[in-house]
Amino acid sequence: MAKERILIVEDDRDLAQLMTILMQQHGYETVVANDGVEGLNLALEERPDLILLDRLMPRMDGLGLLYKLHERQIHIPVVILTAWGSEELAVQALRMGVKDYITKPFELEDLSEAVERALAEARLRRERDALTEQLLISKQELERQVQQLTALHEVGRALASTLELDELLDEILQEVCRVLEVSEASFFLLDRKSGEQVFRAGTGEWAETLVGMRLAPGQGFAGWVAEHGEPLLTRKAQSDPRFSPTFDEVTGLVTESILCVPLLVKGRAIGVVEALNKPGIGFTEDDLAMLRSLAASAAISIENVQLFEETHRLRRQAEEQLAHITQSYSEIQALQETTSALISSLDLQEVLDHTGGTGDKDSHVVAGGAAVRSRS
C-alpha cells in the first residue's frame, strides 16, 4: 500500500522542517510549500491525502487557499495551524471541510494526534466510497445477469413454441434489441449451395426491403464473421476494411458501430446475428458476451427448424411424386387390360367395344383377318 502524503504549507521554514521530520517519523511522505500560492499549486498537482495549513502566510493566506480548493470542488482533509483561535475562524474553516485546527505554539503530540484523526476519517471515507462503488458494480453486474437470463428464457420459450423459422427469428431479434438497447438487428443465414449469406430477417423500417439480399462469401462484416467463425465488435464501422456499403446504400442507414456473432453448429457457421448502432459509447464486451449467449441458444434450434422445413418440403415432393406414379400406374394398368383384350379376343364387336373403333375400312381388315384365321 502506498504511503499517505501530507502537504505542509507553512511560511516559517524552521517549523516546516520540524513538521516534516515528525511526519516522516510516523511513516508519511511530505511535500512542503512556504506560501499560499505555492501551496495551492502543489495541492492541485499532488492531490495529497492531508494538508497541514498555516493560517497567516504571504501572497495567499490559509483561508484563501481553502476558498480556491472549495471553488474547484477539491475535497482534501485539512488541519489548520494558527497563532490565534476564534469561533469565527472555526466556523469558516469547518464550512470548507477543515477537520481540525491547532493553536500555535502546539505540542508535537497534539499535531500527531490531529493528523491521525484526520487521516483515519479520510481512510474510512475512502473505504466507504470503495464499498459503495463495488456495490454499484455488483448491482450493475447482477442486473446484467438478470437481463441475460431473462433474454435466454424468452429465447428458449420461442425455441420451444414454434417451428416457423421466420417467427422464431423475429422473436429472437426482439430480445436482442431489448437487451442490447438498439433498434436495428438482423439475421443472415447461409445458402449452402452458393456459400452466400442471405438476409433472412431484421428489425426496423428497412428490414423488408433487404430480405433476400445476398453477400458473397467473406463479403462485409457478416460474410467475414461467417467465414472465420469469430465474433466482431467495432465502434468505427465505416473505417473498418471489412465494411461493405451494400446495405447502407439500399436503406440510407449509416452503420456506425456493429456487433456481429456467428451462429455455430458443431463448429460450422450456419449464419450470423448482428446488432447495429448502439447509442452512447457503443457496444461493450458485456454486450458481446450477451449476444454470444443468445446466438449459442438460437443456432441449434435454427438448424433444427431449417431441417424440419427441408424434411417437410422433401416429404411433400415425395407425396406429389407418389401420387403421380400412382396415377401413371393406373393408366398403364388400364392400357395393359385393353391390350390383353385385343390380343385374346377374336370377336370383332368385343374388340370394338374395348377400343371404341367404328371405321368401316378397319372393320373389313379385322374381319378379313378373322376369316382367314377361321379357315385355317
DSSP-based three-state secondary structure for 123 = helix
- Are 52 and 9 contacting, i.e. CB atoms less than 8 angstroms apart? yes
Percent helix, percent strand, percent coil in the chain, to nearest 5 = 60, 15, 25
Q: Which residues pair with 30 in a beta bridge?
A: 6
Is 92 buried (19+), middle (13-18) or exposed (0-12) by CB count in 10 A?
A: middle
The pLDDT confidence band at residue 145, using thresholds 50, 70 and 90, is low
Identity of residue 61: D
Please tell me the number of Cα atoms within 13 Å of 248 on its side-chain side. Answer: 15
Q: Which residues pair with 81 in a beta bridge?
A: 54, 102
With CA atoms as reference, report the closest residue to 309 among 200, 172, 199, 154. 200
Grid cell at residue 117? 484523526
Grid cell at residue 326? 400412382
Over residues 328-344, the mean pLDDT reads: 75
- Are 58 and 70 contacting, i.e. CB atoms less than 8 angstroms apart? no
Answer with the residue of higher pLDDT: 73 or 346. Answer: 73
For 34-67, the pLDDT digits (tens) are: 998 999 999 999 999 999 998 888 888 888 888 8
Q: Which of 16-30, 63-77, 188-202, 327-341 has the lowest mean pLDDT?
A: 327-341
Grid cell at residue 186? 438482423
Grid cell at residue 49? 491525502
Instruction: Tell how many helices (H) and how many strands (E) occur in the chain.
Output: 12, 11
The pLDDT confidence band at residue 91, using thresholds 50, 70 and 90, is low
The pLDDT confidence band at residue 162, using thresholds 50, 70 and 90, is low
Give the pLDDT of residue 233. Answer: 93
- Are 355 and 334 contacting, i.e. CB atoms less than 8 angstroms apart? no
Give the pLDDT of residue 154. Answer: 61
With CA atoms as reference, report the closest residue to 118 among 92, 88, 132, 97. 97
Provide the angle, in degrees to the nearest 10, between the axes of the packed helices 108-161 and 165-180: 170
With CA atoms as reference, report the closest residue to 226 among 170, 187, 176. 187
Domains of the chain: 5-128 (3.40.50.2300), 162-311 (3.30.450.40), 345-375 (no CATH)
Give the pLDDT of residue 43. Answer: 92
The DSSP 8-state label assigned to residue 105 in this structure reads S
How far CA 238 is from CA of 199, 201, 216, 242, 253, in Å, comes to: 20, 23, 19, 9, 12
Answer with the residue of higher pLDDT: 339 or 90. Answer: 339
How many other CB atoms are found less than 10 A from the CB of residue 118?
22
Please state, for a pLDDT cut of 90, what percent of the chain lies above it. Answer: 26
